[in-house]
Amino acid sequence: MSCPREQVVYHEKQVRQLCAVHALNNLFQDKNAFSKYDLDNICNNLSPEYWINPHRSVLGLGNYDINVIMSALQSRGYEMIWFDKRKDPSCLNLQNITGFILNVPSDYKLGFVTIPLKRRHWIAVKLLHGVYYNLDSKLDFPIPIGTNEELLSFIRNELDSQDKELFIVVSSNVEKAQSWLKENSNYTNKLVDSTSRDAEEITLNDID
């Protein structure tokens, strides 16, 4: 099922190793939200003393890690929170959540040949026109997920895989107030930062 024609959903498709850029732009629904130049500058600010920057690919073609995405979001007043997959997503207060970013494994292909390399891929999910959409840059078009309950089912299915991680994107005010959680939730909030080890030591990169 494709996006209804009368509803405009911005969907940036995959170019080279830039799915972190695509995920951010799809999340903000703005092709000018971030560019490769912007994320390269963030890399340099995070590790100015390194000749080979640890936050992107060795050749500088993209492949940005989680620290770059977090910094990009913070520059716009947002925070990125790691979701503990041991919890059920029904604890989330969806009305206070800006969107979601998934980090998933992905095959590396050279032409039509799949190469057995462990690579990662960033995917944005967002509520648009009353419908949640999968805005994966590798898709030909954005795929409607559906209602709140259908989103929760989608998240559960994704997190059944141990090698997938979910991150919640919220405004800084929502993060401070912890209002991305329902009031009756006993969820223990764990933020991911450059020193956190909660999400498998978070060395998650994107893929071409």
Residues classed as catalytic: 19, 121
* Mode of pairing for the β-strands spanning 131-134 and 113-128: antiparallel
CB atoms within 10 A of CB 1: 7
Alpha-carbon span 151 to 168, nearest angstrom: 13
Q: How far are the Cα atoms of 46, 69, 179, 203 from residue 196, in angstroms, in the given order? A: 16, 15, 22, 10
Q: Which DSSP helix (H) or strand (E) runs through 21?
A: helix 19-28
Joined tokens for residue 5: 């024609």
Question: Which three-class secondary structure state does DSSP give residue 117?
Answer: strand
Joined tokens for residue 160: 């059944």
Alpha-carbon span 121 to 208, nearest angstrom: 8
